[in-house]
Amino acid sequence: MRELMKKIVEEGKVLSEHVLKVDRFLNHQVDPQLMKKIGETFANAFRHEGITKVLTLESSGISPALMTAYELGVPLLVARKRKPVTLSEDVYTAKVYSFTKQEETEIFVSQSLLRRQDHVLIIDDFLANGQAALGLTNIVQQSGASVAGIGIVIEKAFQDGGQLLRSRGFRVMSLARIASMRDGKVQFVKEVMY
Ligand code: 5GP
């Protein structure tokens, strides 16, 4: 997606060869116009798949996932990283090793909000080693629902996540694929752009 790649180049900050900071438009301050376009792009790609729910992980996945759910006219379900006291009913849980925090966390979704009949589109902001997305697919599978696909805003294609998820048969759509971040410079994978 050209607008996204332009934003990454102009406003993203390469913190290391493995970590990109996008606090100016995605992870801290959020660009609503860009999120709207991201939502439209994911929705257009999955519009005829019979999606009944969009699922993301709090908190950075929420902005692109909400716009996607809005465009598809379906609810957004946000997996929680800490079990709030209000979440007293039965929950599905999965263990996720966090790339940014370098620690294992547990994620939670209320069993009452995910049904066997659901066909779920998973959305997240980044794809690194694929653990967050895999945890979300695990939760969908526990409920008996199906995964329609995984929409990723920024895939770091030099890490293993994309390969891991695709090798398990999931349709992964990434709007920007980064080939490398050497010398503080983002290089994109050369391929067809949305
Ligand atoms: P994975 O589970 O695929 O290893 O990592 C994905 C999760 O880690 C995303 O939900 C995202 O929050 C975070 N993440 C991974 N790589 C980056 C990065 O380069 N920059 C930022 N800001 N977050 C990242």
125 ligand 1 Cβ < 6 A = yes
110 ligand 1 Cβ < 6 A = no
Alpha carbons 26 and 23: distance in angstroms, whole number: 6
Task: Ligand 1 pocket test: pick from 99, 102, 150 the residue with the most ligand atoms within 8 Å of its Cβ.
Answer: 99
Residue with tokens 């895939």: 155
- For the domain spanning 1-186, the CATH number is 3.40.50.2020
Annotation-wise, does 130 bind a ligand? Answer: yes
What pLDDT digit, counting tens, does each position of 139-182 carry?
999 999 999 999 999 999 999 999 999 999 999 999 999 999 99
The DSSP bridge pattern shows strands 20-21 and 172-180 to be: unpaired
Domain boundaries, the chain: 1-186
Alpha carbons 57 and 37: distance in angstroms, whole number: 20
Residue 79, beta-bridge partner list: 57
The DSSP bridge pattern shows strands 187-188 and 172-180 to be: antiparallel
Alpha carbons 143 and 131: distance in angstroms, whole number: 19
| Nearest atom in ligand 1 to 22's CA | 22
What pLDDT digit, counting tens, does each position of 36-60 carry?
999 999 999 999 999 999 999 999 9
